[in-house]
């Protein structure tokens, strides 16, 4: 059984069920990465039918986009590229994006295009997940870029339902990127049904809950320099949440089989939701990519298995996981 594909909402774009998240490829938030290993992972993903690759202007201060741009050289047509804009030039004093005019916004997107070494972006997303004075600037800029053929679709990365509805007030948005996992089922209440009704393509990040649902962490796990997950131990309150998550993981181990890891179960759970278009687990190595692809190759979770997960974390339950 090979890769399967789904429509990205009403965009007319087909995407692989398993995509590739390139936050870690930036090398500044998830510990050390090797550019050549990331490139090999991209090559491997393409060979296995992966088409969807997600990055952002701030990942590695642009390094992730540049790395993807180099990987696409001579074969741009094989990639569905999603990137984001908003945080790179965020004005902390004003609490808003520095892209305060449409011209400034379009100039910012030109920088995305240059780093990606391409003349168009398949899916461009607002990376600011709260309503601020520049939202209308972004929306006008998205629509101008779409009309000019610089982007094929646009959307937003947020877990805030009110912001999502405001962003899509005219029904012209195309996608939502959101954190969704067994540990964080909060979007099942309102957001995912809304996306289905509106025809929004749904891109899932956080399906493995920043590694927790891989089942390899313990109470003694320590994260290295440059890995933001160190805060789970540095902050007593977050450490207690982490310990509770580990208890949930233990209950889920019942679903592990010789051919199916806990991480695979986590990915299959997300893919079982009909609102979901694609899931983008973070990748730094070929081995990680290979492991994640198992979720698309095995039979889906059964009704009984999904019911067991419901008994561990109720539908619509769980907690929002930072960054939301």
| DSSP letter, residue 10 | T
- Each domain of the chain, given as residue ranges in start order, spans 5-312
Give the pLDDT of residue 43. Answer: 96
Mean pLDDT of the chain, nearest integer? 90
Euclidean distance between CA atoms 210 and 323, whole angstroms: 10
Q: Which of 44, 59, 99, 154 is catalytic?
A: 59
Tell me how many degrees the CA angle 84-46-118 measures, rounded to the nearest 5. 45
116 pLDDT exceeds 80?
yes
Give the pLDDT of residue 324. Answer: 41
- Could you read off the pLDDT of 27-53 as tens digits, one per residue? 565 556 788 999 999 999 999 999 999
- Could you read off the pLDDT of 36-95 as tens digits, one per residue? 999 999 999 999 999 999 999 998 888 999 999 999 999 999 999 999 998 887 777 777
The reply to whether 5 belongs to the active site is no
CATH class of the 5-312 domain in this structure: alpha beta
CA distances (Å), 109 to each of 38, 72, 114, in order?
24, 18, 9
């Amino acid at each position: 059984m090979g890769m399967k594909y789904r429509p990205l909402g009403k965009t007319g774009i087909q995407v692989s069920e398993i995509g590739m998240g390139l936050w870690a490829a930036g090398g500044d938030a998830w510990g050390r990465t090797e550019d050549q290993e990331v490139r090999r992972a991209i090559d491997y993903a393409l060979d296995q039918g992966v088409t969807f690759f997600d990055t952002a202007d701030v990942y590695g201060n642009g390094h992730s986009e540049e790395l993807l741009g180099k990987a696409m050289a001579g074969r741009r047509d094989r990639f569905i590229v999603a990137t984001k804009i908003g945080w790179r030039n965020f004005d902390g004093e004003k609490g808003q994006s520095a892209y305060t005019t449409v011209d400034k916004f379009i100039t910012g997107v030109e920088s995305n295009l240059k780093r990606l070494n391409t003349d168009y972006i398949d899916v461009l997303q607002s990376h600011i997940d709260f309503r601020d004075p520049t939202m209308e600037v972004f929306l006008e800029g998205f629509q101008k870029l779409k009309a000019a053929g610089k982007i094929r679709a646009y959307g937003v990365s947020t877990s805030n339902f009110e912001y999502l509805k405001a962003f899509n007030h005219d029904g012209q948005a195309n996608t939502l990127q959101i954190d969704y996992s067994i540990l964080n089922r909060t979007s099942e209440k309102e957001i995912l049904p809304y996306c289905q009704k509106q025809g929004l393509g749904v891109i899932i990040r956080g399906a493995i809950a920043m590694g927790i649902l891989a089942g390899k962490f313990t109470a003694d796990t320590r994260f290295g320099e440059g890995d933001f997950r160190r805060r789970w131990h540095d902050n007593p309150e977050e450490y207690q949440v982490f310990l509770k998550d580990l208890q949930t993981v233990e209950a889920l181990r019942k679903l592990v089989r010789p051919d199916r890891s806990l991480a695979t179960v986590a990915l299959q759970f997300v893919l079982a939701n009909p609102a979901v278009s694609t899931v983008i687990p973070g990748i730094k190595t070929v081995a990680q990519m290979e492991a994640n692809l198992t979720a698309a190759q095995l039979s889906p979770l059964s009704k009984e298995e999904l019911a067991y997960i419901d008994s561990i974390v109720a539908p619509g339950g769980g907690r929002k996981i930072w960054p939301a």
